[in-house]
Amino acid sequence: MLINRFLRRGFCTAVARPWLFVGLGNPGDKYKGTRHNVGFEMIDAFAESQGISMNTVHCKATFGQGFVGDAPVLLAKPQTYMNLSGESTGPLAAYYKLPLNRVLVFHDDMGLPCGVLRLRHNGGHGGHNGLKSVMNNFRGIGRPPGQMDPKAFLLQKFNAIARERIDTALQEGVEVLKLLLSKGLTESARHFNTIQKYKHIRLQNMPA
């Protein structure tokens, strides 16, 4: 507890207010590598790229913190299971006194083709149970084929083609997050979403 208080004071008195990046997913090996867990994968990819250790448990989340340049960053993977993600995200934001516009949530989105990303300023949850208290949207996984049950689709592991697209998208995500930390959300979203729009057109009718 004393360590957490010290870290909170250090981050909140930093030159820049920290960003909280939250990846949504389900804990446990059973869900690892499934479509529903791409939010966790985005956090892991970013943490690895920046040398940030995810070795702490804080507010019911696997947690890490560090700096990207001069920008302080908090990384979290709620361990509450997807539908209760707010039980972790809300207390984390409150603990570090962060407004909603400093919280970015990464999650699966069946409205986007597999491997396409979108950075959104705000918006509704769109029926996503893990997003009912958050306003940011990031990550596409594609729609279920035919009449396949959406729940079964979300908990399905990626095939080889989809896995390759997701791995590429994760690296694109890492780059846009670094851009966001230096340029801000508005400029980053405008630039990034234009690129992803053409990727969307190219991939929307391709199976994965």
Q: What backbone torsions phi and psi does residue 23 show, to the nearest 5 degrees?
A: -105, 130
Q: Please answer whether residues 126 and 58 qualify as being in contact, where contact means their C-beta atoms are separated by less than 8 angstroms.
A: no
Indicate whether 160 belongs to any domain: yes
pLDDT value for 27:
95
The total number of structural domains that make up the chain: 1
* pLDDT for position 6: 31
Tell me if 184 is assigned to some domain: yes
Give the domain range for residue 183. Answer: 19-120+153-204
| pTM for the whole structure | 0.83
At 196, list the tokens.
Answer: 């992803």
User: Is 14 part of a structural domain of the chain?
Assistant: no
CATH of the domain at 187: 3.40.50.1470
In the predicted model, what is the mean pLDDT of residues 101-113? 86
Contact 95, 60 (CB under 8 A): no
Rounded Cα distance, 180 and 176, in Å: 6
- For residue 24, what are the CA distances in angstroms to 76, 109, 129, 148? 9, 11, 11, 23
41 or 129: whose pLDDT is higher? 41
Q: Name the one residue in this structure whose structure tokens are 């507890």.
A: 1
Catalytic site positions: 36
Q: Is 34 helix (H, G, I), strand (E, B) or coil?
A: strand
Residue 132 lies in a domain: no
7 falls in which pLDDT band (50, 70, 90)? very low
Q: What is the pLDDT of residues 118-148, one digit of tens each?
A: 887 765 545 554 555 444 323 454 566 666 6
